[in-house]
Amino acid sequence: MNWQVYIILCTDDTLYTGITTDLPRRFDQHAAGRGAKYFRGRQPLQVVYQENGHTRSSAGRRELEIKALTRAEKITLISSGEIRVSDFSLP
């Protein structure tokens, strides 16, 4: 199964990192308040980073690596241009 690691920009300008096998579905879950507790009190704006081709195990490890980065390091990762930036966003 193809797992993805993603970063979402939120309404309060924070960055949320997660993993999934279906990013559009997961984004919709977050937007509807059925995803992570992190989205209680804030809304997802846009997927700003996505990595494809992971196994469940490698996606989990990569998620932890990204979560350990500082905000500045995450912004550098997002703007690196090496990984495709998605355009999922709220209507």
pLDDT tens for each residue of 1-13: 899 999 999 999 9
Q: What is the pLDDT of residue 33?
A: 87
What is the spatial distance between Cα 67 and Cα 6, in angstroms, rounded to a whole number? 11
Domains of the chain are 3-79 (3.40.1440.10)
Q: What is the pLDDT of residue 27?
A: 94
pLDDT tens for each residue of 33-70: 888 889 988 999 999 999 998 999 999 999 999 999 99
Q: CA nearest 48: which of 22, 20, 76?
A: 76
Our measurement of the distance from residue 46's CA atom to the centroid of its chain's CA atoms, rounded to an integer in Å, reads 9
